[in-house]
């Protein structure tokens, strides 16, 4: 879809499904906050400490997910132009369940790869986390050249993309058949194509590697 100015925009259905995905990821921590508040209302003196821990943990989860999606999906991506690689890594860590993900991230303190590339690598990382149902290691590699090559590898028992997600990476995949589960794949590939590249997934033994190209920061 194109605007009158020639700018590419995603179909409305994709935006709706991305909103559904975001809301789904917020349900659990928000529900836990609500449960904690109900327990506090009962004034159980012997449970105050546990309830406070639950509230702090759940609030932290909700905040981390909102911060991630604000940059990965939304206009918060405007801030991605100045986002350093360590800051991007912090956003990815916030999306993982505690203790389930080992993140291997490029050690380039203070470096920024630009808005478009940052949005793309965050969405690749979201796919990588989703491909590790039992947890494991997520390795991110960035190769600089005329274009940036972004590679995210998930390694762990049972690692792999759902069939519908892998199918959504295909340039020929339309938006009409997408679901809240598969839309992440379609959107990530769309981001890559918007920069003149593509997104490819390669399945290994208990691993999956996602590779895309992006424009470097000017």
Percent of the chain with pLDDT over 90: 58
Within-domain flag for 50: yes
Report the predicted TM-score, pTM, of the whole model to 2 decimal places.
0.89
Q: What residues contact 10, with CB distance under 8 A and at least 6 apart?
A: 1, 175, 187, 190
Q: What is the mean pLDDT of residues 3-23?
A: 78
Q: What is the mean pLDDT of residues 179-199?
A: 94
Q: Per the structure, how many domains does the chain have?
A: 1
Within-domain flag for 186: yes
Within-domain flag for 193: yes
Please report, for the domain that includes residue 60, its CATH number: 3.30.565.10
pLDDT above 60 (res 163): yes
Within-domain flag for 3: no
Within-domain flag for 67: yes
Report the chain's terminal Cα–Cα distance, integer Å. 26
Beta bridge partners of residue 210, listed in sequence order: 152, 201
Least confident of 133-147, 154-168, 178-192: 133-147
Angle between helices 12-41 and 48-72 (to 10 degrees): 170
The C-alpha torsion from 53 through 57 and 59 to 64, rounded to 10°, is 160
* Domain that includes residue 138, residue range: 12-214
Q: In the prediction, which pLDDT does 108 show?
A: 66
160 against 83, higher pLDDT = 160
Within-domain flag for 6: no
pLDDT tens-place string over residues 87-107: 999 999 999 888 899 999 987
Q: What residues contact 70, with CB distance under 8 A and at least 6 apart?
A: 76
């Amino acid at each position: 879809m194109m605007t009158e100015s020639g700018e590419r925009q995603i179909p409305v259905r994709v935006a709706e499904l991305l909103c559904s995905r975001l809301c789904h990821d917020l349900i659990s921590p928000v529900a836990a906050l609500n449960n904690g508040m109900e327990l506090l209302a009962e004034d159980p003196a012997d449970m105050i400490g546990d309830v406070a821990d639950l509230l702090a943990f759940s609030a932290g989860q909700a905040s981390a997910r909102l911060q991630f999606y604000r940059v990965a999906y939304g206009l918060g991506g405007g801030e991605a132009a100045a986002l350093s690689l360590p800051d991007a890594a912090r956003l990815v860590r916030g999306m993982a369940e505690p203790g389930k993900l080992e993140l291997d991230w490029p050690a380039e303190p203070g470096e920024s790869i630009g808005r478009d590339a940052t949005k793309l690598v965050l969405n690749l990382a979201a796919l990588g986390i989703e491909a590790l149902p039992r947890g494991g290691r997520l390795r991110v590699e960035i190769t600089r050249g005329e274009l940036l090559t972004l590679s995210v590898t998930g390694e762990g028992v049972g690692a792999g993309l759902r069939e519908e997600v892998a199918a959504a990476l295909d340039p020929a995949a339309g938006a009409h058949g997408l679901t809240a589960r598969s839309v992440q794949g379609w959107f990530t590939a769309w981001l890559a194509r918007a920069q003149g590249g593509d997104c490819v997934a390669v399945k290994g033994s208990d691993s999956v590697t996602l590779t895309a190209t992006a424009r470097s920061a000017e």
